[in-house]
């Protein structure tokens, strides 16, 4: 599975899952655009790791919550590389996974849902709208959106977060249906709890142990575990797959 001459945009790629995905593409020879919001040092470290792994890499600071910032980012990528082949939508609104201290439904308001929806579906919407004209010109392209196994198995009721991710699954399948005739594929990867990441650092050890005990592979996903399925869906090996959701949670969800 090689990605030489492929240009890959990974949003939210300065740390955690996004950084692992960017590095995996670089190891396969891709030119990787490391999108990030604010942490210049972290983004530079990911770029350096990608280059050391054998791929080209470029950090682009852009808020995917802004139409103008996204358009400027996409225009810059095309100006630099001439094209874009793959987009991985990984960025989402900040969220802390804390099973004991999560916000219960009675204490939520609609703004909480709206914030997650804007950060998850809204960001993906903006990036897809900006990149699709480029994909259409070449009658090819692959989009992989990062969702969550909680949409199928809400072992913890993170109401606003999970609802937004479920919306992203529907968004992805509608897009896959419309764009399939044009040679553009859209799929999702749904990780379970991934540890360690900034979002999962508040997840208590007792909960992690109980989750491992319920998981057939008896461990929790690491960021690099998510990268492999993303590369598979983006590759020619998955050339006849679109509108699909791959669950990456050690067998907790089986479909």
What mean pLDDT value characterizes the chain?
Answer: 94
Q: Is residue 171 part of a domain?
A: yes
Please pick, among 36, 95, 158, 161, the residue that the annotation labels catalytic.
161
Q: Report phi then psi at 191, rounded to 5.
A: -75, 155
CA pair distance 178, 50, nearest whole angstrom: 34
Q: Is residue 2 part of a domain?
A: no
Q: Report phi then psi at 2, rounded to 5.
A: -120, 150
Mean pLDDT of 65-72: 97
Q: How confident is the model at residue 208 (pLDDT cuts 50, 70, 90)?
A: confident
Q: Is residue 12 part of a domain?
A: yes
70 versus 202: the higher-pLDDT residue is 70
The tens digit of pLDDT for each residue in 92-139 reads 888 888 888 899 999 999 999 999 999 999 999 999 999 999 999 999
pLDDT at 202 > cutoff 70: no
Q: Is residue 244 part of a domain?
A: yes
Pairing type for strands 184-191 and 141-146 reads: parallel
Neighbours of 189 (CB within 10 A): 28
Q: How many domains does the chain have?
A: 1
Residue 1: per-residue pLDDT: 58
CA pair distance 211, 84, nearest whole angstrom: 38
Nearest CA to 86 among 32, 125, 147, 139? 32
Is residue 161 part of the annotated active site? The answer reads yes
Mean pLDDT of 42-68: 96
- CATH number where 213 lies: 3.40.50.720
Q: Is residue 168 part of a domain?
A: yes
Q: How confident is the model at residue 2 (pLDDT cuts 50, 70, 90)?
A: confident
Q: Is residue 255 part of a domain?
A: no
Q: Is residue 253 part of a domain?
A: no
Domain that holds residue 61: 7-248
Look at 154-163, 175-184, 203-212 and tell me which has the smallest mean pLDDT: 203-212
CA pair distance 145, 168, nearest whole angstrom: 8
Mean pLDDT of 141-157: 96
């Amino acid at each position: 599975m090689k990605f030489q001459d492929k240009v890959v945009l990974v949003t939210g790629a300065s740390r955690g899952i996004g950084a692992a995905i960017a590095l995996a593409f670089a190891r396969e020879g891709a030119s990787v655009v490391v999108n990030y919001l604010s942490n210049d040092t972290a983004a530079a470290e990911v770029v350096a790791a990608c280059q050391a792994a054998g791929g080209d890499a470029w950090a682009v600071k852009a808020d995917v919550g802004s139409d103008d910032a996204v358009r400027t980012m996409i225009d810059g990528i095309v100006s630099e590389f001439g094209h874009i082949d793959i987009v991985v939508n990984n960025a989402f609104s900040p969220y802390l996974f804390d099973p004991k201290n999560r916000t219960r439904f009675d204490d939520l308001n609609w703004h909480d849902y709206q914030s997650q929806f804007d950060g998850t579906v809204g960001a993906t919407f903006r990036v897809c709208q900006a990149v699709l004209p480029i994909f259409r010109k070449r009658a090819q392209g692959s989009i992989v959106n990062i969702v969550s196994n909680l949409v199928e198995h809400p072992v913890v009721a993170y109401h606003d977060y999970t609802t937004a991710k479920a919306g992203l699954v529907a968004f992805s399948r509608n897009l896959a249906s419309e764009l399939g005739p044009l040679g553009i594929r859209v799929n999702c990867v749904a990780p379970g709890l991934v540890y360690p990441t900034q979002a999962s650092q508040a997840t208590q050890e007792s909960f992690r142990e109980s989750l491992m005990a319920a998981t057939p592979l008896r461990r929790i996903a690491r960021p690099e575990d998510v990268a492999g399925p993303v590369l598979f869906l983006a590759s020619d090996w998955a050339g006849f797959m679109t509108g699909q959701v791959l669950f990456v949670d050690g067998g907790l969800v089986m479909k």
